[in-house]
Amino acid sequence: MTDIAPLRLPLALSREDLLADFRLAWESRHASLIGRKEALTGKAKFGIFGDGKELPQLALARVFRPGDFRSGYYRDQTFMMAVGQLSLDEFFAQLYADPDPVREPHSAGRQMNAHFATALRDREGRWRDLTAEPQSSADMSPTAGQMPRLVGLGYASRLYRELPALAGFTTFSKNGDEVAFGTIGNASCAEGHFWEAIDAIGVLRAPVVLSIWDDGYGISVPNEFQHTKANLGELLEGFRRHPGQRDGFDLYSVAGWDYAALLEAYRAAADTARREHVPAILHVRELTQPQGHSTSGSHERYKSKDRLAWEETHDGLRRFRAWLVDGGLAEPAELDALERQAATAARDAQRRAWEAFQQPIRDEQRAFVALATSLAERSAAGEEIRAALAGLERAQTALRRQIQATAHEVLIATRAEGSAERDALAAWTAGHLVANRELYDTDLHASGGFSPLAVEPVAATYRDDSPTVNGFEVLNACFDAALARMPQLVAFGEDVGKLGDVNQGFLGLQEKHGVLRVADTGIREQTIMGQAIGLAMRGLRPIAEIQYLDYVLYGLQTLSDDLASLRWRSAGRQAAPVIVRTRGHRLEGVWHAGSPMGGLVNLVRGMWICVPRNMTQAAGMYNTLLAGDDPAIVVEVLNGYRQKERLPANIAELRVPLGVPEILRAGSDVTLVTYGACCRLAIEAADLLAKTGIEAEVVDVQTLLPFDRPGVVVESLRKTNRLVIVDEDVPGGASAFMLQQIVERAGGFWWLDAPPVTVTASEHRPVYGSDGDYFSKPGREEIFRAVYAQARELAPARFPPIGVRVRAPLRRGSA
């Protein structure tokens, strides 16, 4: 990489600008210094700070405009302060995990300190004008986790500039002039996310400016154990754009203590990215970490004396000061005064934030102590109660959990007593518990009219001449209509563009709607997910395809950590209504027939999971999701694309409600609960069972998340009193989830006359070939055996043995 020659004066910035930067840098530094003490003295649980990284962040803030997006990590407090999106009070409120969304707007106490998010949505979930302020996507802790979404945040500018139909979306973009700025630590660049995202950004020519904060270490591990040749700059050389060419990145290598060079590099990188949509990488070298990685350890344990001494002389703030003084821009005494003012501002903010955080909890504590003291006066356990209260009042930090713990101790100690005082305390404790649970329990999904659960269902209608077509043609008609009515809708994935996806759902739609709206991507599931998240955060509606369900695992970290948690972790400030389209359950072999639904159900709470049994149901679910504001995964049935279905006359309006099961076959003896590809098998098994006098009711749950909102399954159990769940995931996978939902959550237990049964796939992966499939996944006969065996247990005389004895638990169902 070429070094930028350090720029000397004059700069476009005024002396006042530079002094303001100097003071802000020191405010941020003092916030770090005080913050560490707050953690070490136990007032905060943990602290991670941006000391040593102040200067490049100030330079970055100087080129950052309203409407630009940051996708960064926990070192960026100075930047956030410099663009006016983080006050010192907010910084400390988050350090204390203050759950008040006004005092701690970034995550309402849900995230560790230094995890930032700006308000893309208002309190009701409506979009705000994204171009009015500098924006930051919500941070998260997994290293490099911010990289996939950076792809989409940058790429959105291209779509806004190049798609004429988006010209009216002026509260989202001004002609695609926005730049997405990424930040990442040097060690996190060892993650695959980093390289995949860089490659995708380059291919997409997304206006991204990525800063690498290189302080030589990842906690204790130096660059020689992170990167080939210990040199990221050299590794990135292959991405360099050659003179006169359009593809590639502009690369800059700058010392992190050289403010003039940083300003110059950021100006050049941001201008080109904004104007020409050419991405850039700034390798910001020679940064320091004066207080070490975080409050969980000290860097003296792993840095040499020489390195520690070097860090002192290369501290950015020290160099900044020298540069201002040597350049004749400021007097030492003037800078001393600014430093003092900064220290006072940080200290005052810390005190205010602490008081504001503690005040309401102390008030609650006082209310509790008053009630508990009244009880103590008339209780036989008075002594014990007073001792518990004294312990509570001695604590340095008032915490609601301590109030709850003490309240429970008091209520347990007085459990045999009856008094108005005790009743009052018990009621207060319950109210306090519920209120505090609710404090943390908002915003997992969209609410009110934005929720896809609020979308009015529309049943499929057919004309006399409605044609019978292949399943994929139903989807094709649905997508075509959606692309026509929603200019902000884009679809992409491997083979989605030119081919129209491997099963032709998008056949011909690229030709019709354009290469930017129906697009091919590289084989990069993680950043296909990230591309979708970034686009959706900027107001677009992506349908992002993962070619086969088994490959969702490649994108799962991003889905689970970023997308599914986004609305919740930003306390409703941000959301990304991404639709992940995939296909699976049953085709051939280990990686084209898996059905890891239990894993998904557990890992993507915050998303909806749709498992349509055919393409008409799938189309109705896509329409419902597009009318809502939540992220979701739709798993189409792999072997359904060539099955014949009638094309609904209202394919564009059809809307299937989420979480509403359908009874596919009525019966009074047993309830067979299933979804997706297993629906067909369950019906075949039910036909076979009917020959033995057992009438099975087959219920298609249609979506796993949400699960059976009206309670259709329990309604069926009231009639049949027997439950068999059929699922092609491993034993204890999605079937266990369904069992919990039916038996525990919905109270199905009370209607059961026999132990519930799950019929699932084997623990090993699905085997290749038709016989392999039969002996590793549930089939008609296995479902029959399970139901018949259950019936025999209750009425052996009525159901004589079929004679197929199988050793449980290898394969369920001796009959």
Ligand X SMILES: Cc1ncc(C[n+]2csc(CCOP(=O)(O)OP(=O)(O)O)c2C)c(N)n1
In the complex, the residues that contact ligand X under the rule CB under 6 A are 75, 141-143, 185-188, 213, 215, 217-219, 293
Q: Minimum Å distance from CB 297 to ligand X?
A: 12
Q: Report the C-alpha gap between 215 and 218 in whole angstroms.
A: 8
Q: Minimum Å distance from CB 390 to ligand X?
A: 40
Sheet order of strands, 250-255 included: 135-136, 69-71, 180-185, 208-213, 280-285, 250-255
DSSP string, 737-803: HHHIIIIIIS-GGGG-SS--EEE---SSPPPSHHHHHHHHS--HHHHHHHHHHHHHHH-TTTS---S
Nearer to ligand X, 186 or 211 (CB): 186
Contacts of 445 (CB under 8 A, 6+ apart): 451, 453, 567, 606, 608, 630
Nearer to ligand X, 155 or 217 (CB): 217
Q: Report the C-alpha gap between 192 and 37 in whole angstroms.
A: 35
DSSP string, 414-461: TTT---HHHHHHHHHHHHHHHHHHHHHS--SS--GGGSGGGSPPB---
Q: Minimum Å distance from CB 145 to ligand X?
A: 7
Nearer to ligand X, 111 or 143 (CB): 143
Active site residue 314: no
Asked if residues 555 and 529 have their Cβ atoms less than 8 Å apart, the reply is yes
Which amino acid, residue 617? Q
Q: Report the C-alpha gap between 76 and 182 in whole angstroms.
A: 11
Q: Minimum Å distance from CB 190 to ligand X?
A: 8
Quote the distance between the C-alpha of residue 692 and its chain's center. Answer: 49
Q: Report the C-alpha gap between 311 and 334 in whole angstroms.
A: 25
Q: How far is CA 524 from CA 102, 545, 552, 553, in A?
A: 39, 11, 11, 12
Nearer to ligand X, 215 or 264 (CB): 215
Q: Minimum Å distance from CB 737 to ligand X?
A: 26
Nearer to ligand X, 82 or 518 (CB): 82
Nearer to ligand X, 183 or 358 (CB): 183
Tokens of 150: 């950076």
Q: Report the C-alpha gap between 384 and 392 in whole angstroms.
A: 13
Nearer to ligand X, 187 or 324 (CB): 187
Tokens of 209: 């400016």
Tokens of 810: 């290898």
Q: Report the C-alpha gap between 117 and 101 in whole angstroms.
A: 12
Long-range interactions of 306-309: CB distance < 8 A, separation 24+: 307/216
Which one from 106, 115, 585, 592 is the annotated catalytic residue?
592
Q: Minimum Å distance from CB 308 to ligand X?
A: 15
Q: Report the C-alpha gap between 71 and 154 in whole angstroms.
A: 10
Q: Minimum Å distance from CB 182 to ligand X?
A: 13
Sign of the four-CA dihedral 20, 26, 29, 31: negative
Nearer to ligand X, 75 or 613 (CB): 75
Asked if residues 160 and 68 have their Cβ atoms less than 8 Å apart, the reply is no
Nearer to ligand X, 141 or 170 (CB): 141
Q: Minimum Å distance from CB 142 to ligand X?
A: 4
Nearer to ligand X, 213 or 357 (CB): 213
The residue number whose beta carbon is nearest to ligand X equals: 185
Nearer to ligand X, 52 or 105 (CB): 52
Nearer to ligand X, 70 or 293 (CB): 293
What are the phi and psi torsion angles at 65 (to 5°)?
-115, 160
Q: Minimum Å distance from CB 187 to ligand X?
A: 3
Q: How far is CA 320 from CA 16, 20, 64, 343, 415, in A?
A: 14, 12, 21, 17, 65
Nearer to ligand X, 297 or 693 (CB): 297
Q: Minimum Å distance from CB 186 to ligand X?
A: 4
Q: Minimum Å distance from CB 603 to ligand X?
A: 15
What are the phi and psi torsion angles at 504 (to 5°)?
75, 20
Quote the distance between the C-alpha of residue 152 and its chain's center. Answer: 14
**Region label for 140, one of left (φ > 0), alpha (ψ between -120 and 50) or beta (otherwise):** beta
Q: Minimum Å distance from CB 257 to ligand X?
A: 16
Q: How many residues are listed for the chain in this entry?
A: 815
The 8-class DSSP code of residue 381 comes to T
Q: How far is CA 73 from CA 150, 186, 192, 570, 796, in A?
A: 12, 12, 17, 14, 64
Q: Report the C-alpha gap between 161 and 173 in whole angstroms.
A: 8
Q: Nearest-CA neighbor of 55 among 288, 339, 332, 329?
A: 288
Q: Minimum Å distance from CB 80 to ligand X?
A: 15
> Which of the residues are catalytic?
592
